[in-house]
Chains A and B, each alone.
Chain A
């Protein structure tokens, strides 16, 4: 009996036959049928991994990490060490600015704790100080994030991304459209990973917007689960709302007008829009996933080239 971590839905348009009674020109009673595109969300579930699956996932990561290192990829420790030997990743100006900002935070914190009065003026000052501290912290994290890219090509990051894909292939279940109480392994139940990868490839290349959206959402959920570890049901609700904010996927149903002609349904294509920083970060994770997948087959070649 499988246990589940979470469930989510992806909207999908289905052809629905709509039959109504009417009368013809002679006043005879007839049935008028038309086919409408209607939204019928399809549910997806992530299987709660068993102990054996956890073990397999950890072993897969270890194998991929070892392969990356053998192919010449640097580890995070090696990259850090190399940059440290060269004086670190930051420029002198950045170093000086970081020092300034950290000093500012210390001073602001001291000021905050000096305000022991409990009046309206003190409250306003406290809010102003907290806002300044927040600005400093934001600037520090912006400066630090700029340099995160140097770790993107490390053996650990490559192995982690492949392992996330491995988890997607093993955890994802899709609602059976014929029997909606039944959930089937989305990429087949084969013991051979290659078979599951083939199934993933076919879905990715299929071009169906519904499937693309399902894969994207799966990658988002699994990445979050993998990186965060102990994720509760409540956490997945947060994941859902974060994802919905960043997603542009929407289906447009046919309007059910009595006299109307069936309007051709269409799926709205994603459009660019500004995103909050956190959303961008999360989306980057999913993009990495799909990039990783497409890279996967030729990974050995790429790693060998990088090793050279």
Chain B
């Protein structure tokens, strides 16, 4: 679904062209899982509890590895910087400077309307991204295996373990813990690809669009700002995607209530472009906040 939506250009495509695909994604977010027909498995959308468990695994592994004598990241970084001279402050500065360049210019790039200027900026920003990627890869290669990165890598694989189930009640995981630990790289890679493909539908761009759709805003308007009413469960049990949609929809609902724009929100009709709809909420929100700041 995510890949299908990526084919649309929001500036030129109509809201109604994406409406059903976005509603289908919203359906999965609402029920908290997606069904993967090709594999006949259920992909559970993870929430606070699973993220916490993964953090716990990572912390325990880091501690265990340090106890085993695997060096810490700081230890190795100090060694390659101070003892062998393979890495230096100049190398670090190169990364920092490229990162600053990106953060300083990203907003300008997003707002720039002049194509030539945008094109020129993109070239420089891509160069900065490449520098960051190359220098970081070089640093990691020189640092080698350390407790923290190794633990992080293994802990990350548990997203796969926690996400896949044989049933939609989430009673039977696709693997028990031992079987999962013994999975071969090729098998694990297959599930990582499936995982990434599934999660691509729930990216920030699609969540922003979903939160501006009438099928979400109408429901939000009845929940009296109470997330627990909206999803029927405590906020701590929301999936990450549910929380993301809820916060965005709450903001948009606030905009609908507070806007002074006499023409009201754009009507979802055959002419309305997707970008215009999303931009309208952002624009009105900026005005409301600016006005509230100036009045206080």
Contact = CB atoms under 8 A, between A and B. Distances in A.
Q: How many B residues are at the interface, by size bracket?
A: 20 to 34
B79 A69 contact: yes
Contacts of A3: 184
Given A58-B150, A77-B86, A81-B84, A50 B69 contact: no
B234 interface: no
A255 B84 CA distance: 64
B184 A50 contact: yes
B146 A77 contact: no
A63 B184 contact: no
B160 to A, nearest CB: 12
A51 B65 contact: no
> Which of A54, A61, A63: most chain B CB closer than 10 A?
A63
A172 interface: no
B38 interface: no
A53 to B, nearest CB: 9
Nearest to A77: B84
A66 B79 CA distance: 10
B264 interface: no
A62 B182 contact: no
Nearest to B75: A66
A213 to B, nearest CB: 31
B145 to A, nearest CB: 4
A77 B76 CA distance: 14
A216 B185 CA distance: 29
A58 B145 contact: yes
Nearest to A53: B182
A77 B154 CA distance: 29
Interface residues of A, number: 20
A66 B183 CA distance: 29
Given A75-B84, A77-B86, A81-B85, A59 B68 contact: yes
Interface string A13-51: 000000000000000000000000000000000001011
A66 B146 CA distance: 10
A205 interface: no
B188 interface: yes
A66 B185 contact: no
Nearest to A69: B79
Contact of B70 (A51, A63, A69, A81): A63
Interface string B51-67: 00000000000000100
Interface in A47-101: 48, 50-52, 54-55, 58-59, 61-63, 65-67, 69, 75, 77-78, 81
Given A51-B183, A59-B70, A66-B69, 14 more contacts: A50-B182, A50-B183, A51-B181, A54-B185, A59-B145, A62-B71, A62-B144, A62-B146, A62-B150, A66-B70, A66-B75, A69-B79, A77-B86, A81-B85
Interface of A: 3, 48, 50-52, 54-55, 58-59, 61-63, 65-67, 69, 75, 77-78, 81
19 contacts: A50-B181, A50-B183, A51-B183, A51-B184, A51-B185, A54-B185, A55-B150, A59-B65, A59-B68, A59-B145, A61-B145, A62-B150, A63-B70, A75-B84, A77-B80, A77-B84, A77-B86, A78-B83, A81-B84
